[in-house]
Amino acid sequence: MTNFWDVHGLLFIASMCFFPRLTLLFSSVATGGLVWWLGFIFAPRLLVAILATTVYWQTNTILVVLAWVWALSGETAEKGVVGKRAWKR
């Protein structure tokens, strides 16, 4: 079982929060497959939460739950802003 803190640190978490696509692209995170690329293009926060769940659920449950809260709130807020701007035009 892999512990998150053995592989990554706080800089990686900050990078994932502010630049999820760049961090996924240039880090050692698993890549490939149609689902991975769809997540990368359309919902990178959700992709991060899914990858965190599959790898770190057993060793860092709290960190995984926080990743899901961040992913769901970030995607909801982002889509809400885009939807409001589309209706104003």
Higher pLDDT, 33 or 61: 61
Alpha-carbon gap, residue 42 to 47, rounded angstroms: 9
- Write out pLDDT tens, residues 7-59: 888 998 999 888 888 888 888 777 778 888 898 898 889 999 998 899 899 99
CB-based contact 28:55 (threshold 8 Å): no
Residue whose entry in the numeric block shows the structure tokens 């592989």:
7
The whole-model pTM stands at 0.76
